[in-house]
Amino acid sequence: MKFKRHSVIPGFGFTLGFTLTYLSLIVLIPLSLLFLKATTLGWEHFWHTVVSARVLASLRLSFGTALASALVNAVFGLLVAWVLVRYDFPGKKIVDALVDLPFALPTAVAGIALTTLYAPHGWMGRLLAGLGIKAAFTPLGITLALIFIGLPFVVRTVEPILQDFEKEIEEAAFSLGANRWQTFCKVILPAILPALLTGCAMAFSRAVGEYGSVVFIAGNMPLKTEIAPLLIMTKLEQYDYAGATAIAGVMLVISFLLLFATHLFQAWTRQYERV
Amino acid sequence: MSIQVFDVTKKFDDFTALQNISLEVAEGERVALLGPSGSGKTTLLRVISGLEPADSGRVVIRGNEMTDEKVSDRKVGFVFQHYALFRHMSVFENVAFGLRVRSKSERPGNADIKKRVLELLKLVRLDSMASRYPSQLSGGQRQRVALARALAIEPNMLLLDEPFGALDAKVRRELRQWLRELHDKLGMTSIFVTHDQEEALELADRVVVMNRGRIEQIGTPDEIYHHPANEFVCEFLGNVNFFHCRLEGEKVYLGNTGVRISDKFGLDSKHNKVYIRPHRLEISRVPAEDSFGATIRLIHSAGPLVRVEIEVHSGERASVELSQERFCELDLKKGEAVYVVAKEIRAYPGDYSI
Amino acid sequence: MAGATGLRKRAANQVARASVTEPPLVRGILTAIALIFLVVFLILPITVIVAGALAKGVQFYFQALTEPVALAAARLTLLVAVITVPLNVLFGLAAAWALAKFDFVGKKFLTTLIDLPFSVSPVISGLIYVLVFGAQGVLGPWLQAHDIKIVFALPGIVLATVFVTSPFVARELIPLMQAQGNEEENAAIILGASGWQTFWRVTLPNIKWGLLYGVILCTARAMGEFGAVSVVSGHIRGLTNTLPLHVEILYNEYSFTAAFAVSSLLMMLAFVTLALKHFIEWQHSRETNLTAES
C-alpha cells in the first residue's frame, strides 16, 4: 500500500507539512519534554513524589469527584436531552441555547459564581445548610462545579442520537406489546448508550483536569479538598518543578487512556449509526 | 483517432480495477462503457480524464501522449455522476467558472464570457434559469448545467459518468433523446459510462462491455445484442433463459426432452449450457418437429408484450415473450400444457462447467 | 466545547419530532425535573453574577470596569485573541485540507493527535511551556542570555492559549469537509482551476459557516482561558493579567463587587458567543435544508 492515495487536488505536501510542523511545535514537542523531564527524575524520586499522601489524596479527589459528576450528568444530561428533543414547552429554544453556557463562560467566572452561590451565606448554601449539608469548600462543592462544566458534553452528544432515533422503532416495540418502560430500557437506551458513554467520558476527562471553576469552590485544603491540578500549581509556585512534572505525567497518562476510550466509544456510536 | 488507450492496468490496493485495457475511439464517435458495478468502467473513464493515474499503459488523445499530463492540460469535459455543481454559485457562474479561472492572458473579457455562457445555456435550454442556484433546479436541469459547464472550456472530448444515473425513468428517456440530438449537432467525441444496457444500446455508436476490469466485447449495439461474444455479454444484455443440456448427435437434450437442432446453432458435444432469449421461444398448441413440452406456470399480460413463465419437463423454468395478438390467439391459461420451439439457441465455448 | 457540538450534527437535527408518546403527567414531571436542574445549575449562577456586579450600584459597576488595570487586562485579552485566532485558523484550514481531501497512512492517528489538547488539563498546558521556556527550562539559560522573555510575558500567554484552543477550528472543519467530499474540487480542477483558485472559489464558500463557527468557539475560549494562562502569566498587574486572571485577583482580594463586574463583562461575551453560535447553526441549517429540499 502506498503512503497516499492519488488525487488530482493539489496542496497535500504543503498542508500536511504545515499541520505536522505546527502540531509538533505547539503540542508534541512540549508534551514530550514533560515526559522526558519526568524520566530524568529517576524512578525512585518519581515514585516517591507520586505516592506521597498529599499527591495520592489529590489524585483520588480529582478522579473521584470527576467520576461522581460524570455519573450525575449521565442521568441529568440524558434527562435534559430527552426533554429538549421530545417535549415542547415555552422558552425551549432559550433553554436549549443555555445548555452551551458552561462551554462559553470563562471558567474563572463560573468558579466565583458557583462559590458565591454555595458559600454558607449564598442562596443555595443557606438552603443546604438548613438541611445540614455543607457544599462550598467540600468535595460536594467540587462535584457541583464539575457537574456544571460537564453537562453540555453529555447533552450535546446524546441529543442528535435521540433526535435521529426513528419513531417507527419505538412504535414497533409498542406494537409487539412492550410497555413504555420496557421500550425505554430495551430499545431506546441500548441505542443511545454508546453516545451516552462517549459524552460521559468527555465530561469525565474534562472534569479531571478542570481548574478554573473548581479552584474557588474547593477550599484547597491539602489532603482534603486539594485537586490535582491545583497541587501542580502549588508545586510550581514553590519552584518544585520535579514534583509538578511527576503529577502532570501521571495525569497525562490517565488522560490519554481516557481519550483512547472515548475514541472507542465514538467508533461504537458510529457503528450504530450505520445500521 | 481521437482517443487511444494502450494496455492500461490499474489496481487499488489488492483490487484490480482495470487489467490490460486497450481501446480506440474515433473522432466524433459516441462510445458507451457498459458493465455491472465494480467492472472498472468508471475507473477507465477517470484514467482517460486524468483524474486517476494508470499503474501502467498509455493514454493518447488526438495523437498527443497524455499519460503523464495533468488533468487541466487534457482539456476534457467531464460530467460527474452527481454533477458536482458548485452549490454556492448560480447556474451562470457555474458555467462561467472554467473561463474565469483561466490565466489573465487567456481569459476572455467579461462581455465575451457572458456571451459564451448564454450561448451554452441556450444550447442546453436553460437560458431562463441563469440566475438560479443548483438547489433550485430539478435533477434533469442540473444534469444539463453540468453538461454546459463541461462544454464551456471547449473540450477535446466529453466524458460522462453515469449521466442519467440519478434521474427517474421518465426524465431519463427524455434526456437521452435530447442528448443524442445535441451530440449529433456538436459532433463531439464522447464516452459515457452506464450500467443500463438499454441506455447503452440506444445512445452509443459503439458499446464496450466490461466485466471485472476486462473488456468482454466491443461492437455496435447490433453486434453486441445479436451476436454476444460470450456468456457474460449474453446474460448482461437483456433477459435470457439458460438451460442445462446434453448433446447427442442431432439432438439437444433439455433434461429428458430431446430437441432436434440444426447446424446453424454451432453447438458441439462439449456444451452443456445453452442460452435462449425469451422472444426467440415460441409457444404453440400442437407439437412440431423440434418442439418440447412445457407447462405454463405464470402469465404477466400487463404491458406491450405478454410474458409467460413456463416449466420444462426437466423442471427448469424459462420465460417466453409473445405479442398480445398471439397471446389472445392461443388463449393460454395457467397450468396448461403447451409445446415450445426454440428459434435461436446460443452456446459458448469454454462453458463446460457442471 | 470539545463535545460533539459540531455544526454539521446539530444542523442536521433541526427537524422537530412529530409527536410525543409519553402521557402528559410523565411529560410534565420529566420536564419539571429537567428545568429545575437547569435553573439551579445554569440560571442561578448567571443571576449571582448580575446581582453581584450591581451590588454597589451602577456607578461602582462602571468604575470597576474602567479602572486602568481592568482596561489593561481587557486590552491584553483582546491582543491574545487577535494573535491566537488567526494562527489557529491557518492550522485548522491546513489540517482540514490535508485530512479531508486526501487518503493517507496514519490519517486516523493524526486526527486523534489534533484533539489531544482537549484532554490535557489547562494547568498542564501551561506547565509544559514553563518546562520549555522557564528559567529552569530547556531553553531557559539561552533565553536569559539573549534577554528574551517568553514565560511570564505575552509570548508565553499566547503560546498557552494557542495550545488550548488549537483544535477548535480544525475539528469543526474536518468532518464538514469530509462530508462534502471531493467532487466539486475535482470538477474545478478539471475545468482548469489552480489549487488556490479551487480553495478560494469552491472550498471556502462551502465551509464558511463551519469556519466561522470554529472561529467563534476559538475566540471565546481564547479570551476566557484561565488555568493555562494562569501558569504562564506571572500575574503582573497591568502587564500580564488577562480579564479572567483579573477576576481571580479581585476575588481573592475580597473585592467581590468588582470581581463580578468584570465577570459580567465576560459573561456577556459568553452570551454573544452563544447567540452567534445559534445564528450560524440556523443559517447553516437553512442553507442545507434548501439544498436538501430539491
This model of the complex carries an ipTM of 0.90
> Do C165 and A29 form a contact (C-beta atoms < 8 A)?
no
Neighbours of B35 (CB within 10 A): 28
Report the Cα B33 to chain-centroid distance in Å.
6
Give mean pLDDT, residues B294-300.
Answer: 91
Q: A126 is written with which cell numbers? A: 443557606
Residue A26 pLDDT grade (very low, low, confident, very high; cuts 50, 70, 90): very high
Domains delineated in chain C: 1-53 (no CATH), 58-293 (1.10.3720.10)
Nearest to A106 among C13, C20, C224 (CB): C224
Interchain contact A252–C (C-beta under 8 A): yes
- Rounded to whole angstroms, the Cα distance separating A228 from A224 reads 11
Nearest to C127 among A195, A230, A232 (CB): A232
Domain boundaries A43-274, CATH class: mainly alpha
CA distance B72 to chain A (A): 10
Residue C65 pLDDT grade (very low, low, confident, very high; cuts 50, 70, 90): very high
Q: From residue A164, how far is each of A29, A63, A83, B329, C291 by CA, in Å?
A: 41, 33, 15, 57, 20
Whole-number average pLDDT of chain B: 87
Kindly tell me if the per-residue pLDDT of B192 is higher than 60: yes
**CB-defined contacts A:C, below 8 A:** 325
Residue A55 pLDDT grade (very low, low, confident, very high; cuts 50, 70, 90): very high
Give mean pLDDT, residues C188-214.
Answer: 94
- Where helices occur in C102-203 by DSSP H, the ranges are 107-115, 122-133, 140-145, 154-165, 167-180, 183-190, 195-198
Q: Which residue of C has its CA nearest to B152?
A: C191
Kindly tell me if the per-residue pLDDT of A124 is higher than 60: yes
Determine the pLDDT at residue A239. 86
Residue at B50: amino acid letter = G
CB contact under 8 A, B153 and C191: yes
Give me the percent of chain C exceeding a pLDDT of 70: 91
CB contact under 8 A, A211 and C45: no
Determine the pLDDT at residue B210. 95
Query: In this predicted model, what pLDDT tens digit does every residue of C95-123 receive, in sequence order?
Result: 999 999 999 999 989 998 998 998 899 99
List of chain A residues whose C-beta atoms are within 8 Å of the C-beta of residue B71: 8
Neighbours of B189 (CB within 10 A): 23
Give mean pLDDT, residues A17-23.
Answer: 97
Residue B271 pLDDT grade (very low, low, confident, very high; cuts 50, 70, 90): low
Interchain contact A9–B (C-beta under 8 A): no
List of chain A residues whose C-beta atoms are within 8 Å of the C-beta of residue C8: none
Query: In this predicted model, what pLDDT tens digit does every residue of C13-29 receive, in sequence order?
Result: 444 444 446 788 889 99
Which contiguous run of DSSP H or E holds residue B312?
strand B305-312
Interchain contact C152–A (C-beta under 8 A): no
**CB-defined contacts A:B, below 8 A:** 7
- Burial-class residue C33 by CB neighbours within 10 Å (0-12, 13-18, 19+): middle
Nearest to A108 among C26, C38, C247 (CB): C247
Give mean pLDDT, residues B133-137.
Answer: 91
Q: Enumerate the β-bridge partners of residue B160.
A: B79, B192
Determine the pLDDT at residue C13. 42
Give me the percent of chain B exceeding a pLDDT of 70: 92
CB contact under 8 A, C293 and B135: yes
Nearest to A19 among C94, C101, C117 (CB): C94
CB contact under 8 A, B86 and C183: no
pTM check: above 0.95 = no
Determine the pLDDT at residue B267. 62
CB contact under 8 A, C294 and B152: no
Determine the pLDDT at residue C12. 41
Residue at C210: amino acid letter = G
Q: Which residue of C has its CA nearest to B100?
A: C193
Whole-number average pLDDT of chain C: 88
Give mean pLDDT, residues A60-67.
Answer: 95
- Rounded to whole angstroms, the Cα distance separating B36 from B231 reads 14
List of chain C residues whose C-beta atoms are within 8 Å of the C-beta of residue B89: 205
CA distance C79 to chain A (A): 17
Nearest to A153 among C3, C18, C199 (CB): C3
Measured in residues, chain C has a length of: 294
Give mean pLDDT, residues C137-142.
Answer: 88
Kindly tell me if the per-residue pLDDT of C1 is higher than 60: no
List of chain B residues whose C-beta atoms are within 8 Å of the C-beta of residue C201: 86, 97, 101
Kindly tell me if the per-residue pLDDT of A2 is higher than 80: no
Domain definitions of chain A by residue range = 11-40, 43-274
Residue scoring higher pLDDT (A274 or B144): B144
Q: With left for phi above 0 and alpha for psi between -120 and 50, is residue C238 left, alpha or beta? A: left
